[in-house]
Structure 1
Amino acid sequence: MDQLTYAKKVLSDIGMPKQQQSDLCALTLLALCDIKDHESFSDASNNWIRIHDIIQFVNTNYASSYAENSRETFRKQAMHHFRNAALIEDNGLATNSPNYRYRLTPEFLAVIKKMGKRGYNKAVKLFLSSHESLKSKYASKKAMPMLPVRINNKDYHLSPGSHNLLQKDILEKFAPRFAPNSECLYLGDTTQKDLVKDEKKMEELGFDITLHDKMPDVVLYRADKDWLYFIEAVDSVGPMSPERIIDIQRMTKQVECGKIFVTAFPDFKKYKRFSEQIAWETEVWIAEMPDHMIHLNGDKFLGPR
């Protein structure tokens, strides 16, 4: 058997659903093992790896042609199910972190290393005999305290992480000071992309909802001023750059409300790191100094005090 067939066999032998015995899932497994064509499974490893690296690996070593924008497909069809079955674990960082990675669990790696050799069936039986306890073990690693936050008079819980902590600060510290009585039209959690998404209201205001993947982290609407606040929460990537402004303007070209573009940072140190990337005619808010704003607006605020 070739390596792809072997990978499908082990996924079948441990009882993964048919959908998770596909070419994509088998290739994902080979990338996680770092096994190229004609290499021995006894040399498999469980080094930390990103989905980007998985795509590059299978395209380079197995003549695949997956595009970079197929990362979500890999995440939903393979990684999500592999993790639920205790085949893999993640490193506990926020999913939007550039350092977010996966690896095979040591228990499943032991099965992989026996592939095609004496003792394989015994290794599969051993894995299956402890499967439920393994699922509980690795699930407990993900069971971290959630971040409670009240949005539009409803209680929500954000997944843990520094990015979501900053989003919580935006709602609880920025909004009361600079967008009083506003409603949240959109908020993307690091694990649930569209945690809050008021499509009806956005369509009423003129949003092109088909471009929602260009949405910033938080969108607030202040009815008394007819203002929209587009806010990027920057922990590791993504300030309100000129490119982001163009994306948002394209998505809201039919919107007649006043538009305010804000980049939020947890502290001044992080702001300095990204300051050269931020577009003019936008605002900066820093959570550690919540009462103040930095206006990159030229002569709009020029004059005596």
Structure 2
Amino acid sequence: MAKGGLNVKIMELRAARLKELGAAVPDTFQGVSKVKIRKVLTQLHLGSNVDLVDGVFALMDNETPSWFAKAPEGATFSDGATTAHLACHIGILQRNEFKLDREGRDYWIKPLRDLGGIEAILLHEGEFISGHPVAKSPNSAYRLSEDLKAVLRAPDDQWEALLSKWSAEDAVRARREFQALAAEAAKLLVGTGHSALIQASIDQYAARFLKGYEVVYVDDGDGDRITDEDRAKLAKAGIELTLADAMPDVLLWNRQTDRLWVIEAVTSDGEVDLHKVAQLSALAKRCGKVGIDFTTTYQTWKEAAARQGKHGNVAVGTFIWIQGDPAKHLLVQSFN
């Protein structure tokens, strides 16, 4: 949509809401008011930045459908908004004034981006992925990090303690490092395949969520399925993997707990289903391991939805991780 068209669209939206609801925006989004946002930002010495307060409020907006023409189904403004979207939300929808000058984005995006509270993302093939891997793309966008949203949504007697942990120097550094890795990996999402997803599953997912685990086997589909180097690592972990066993994409071992963890990276098929759980659980038992856990990884939510919408074969009690949305680690549960 042309810039002028977006401005008109937002003015029409504002007018329609005023007529129907009496207000262009509610007092809160996700239970969070501008007063609460200002309190949180004040603790970060950013409370006087009115544009930033309103920008965070906009990025909490999970009631307005996404302004991207080809957004994921059901996406809202909070799932991802461009600089122009934010400028219109703040200037037109919230204030009934002119769209903010996009050149001021360093004032109402950068301060929280530097702290890892605002994440850079890209709308790619109908899915939001980490980083801005395509220079000057009109689909480059931003969203609030999940942990900052947790601080904002926390009760009045809890948010200050959460914010203190969130804003600690080590925590900020860790978030920035993770976002940098995720952004770098996002560059590989365009036109890359199984091997790249396996590597991302190790470098991003395992490094963040599987602390204490070390990789003892990787099946990247090249050369011998079990090399001499693999056998040495497996032997050190007390594992005998034979060609008769189900070959996981990645096998990890925690030497302190003596548990195993399997990662299956899916670009076409090969999820952790009930059959694979049974096979590899038998391997863990045969090798005397305390237990074994499983994760299926996908490049994007779109691919995960397409696979699971058709097959629904990821086993209950296992995990799912999405490379394009790398900060989440999802447990598959059933109420049956």
TM-score by length of 1: 0.41
TM-score by length of 2: 0.38
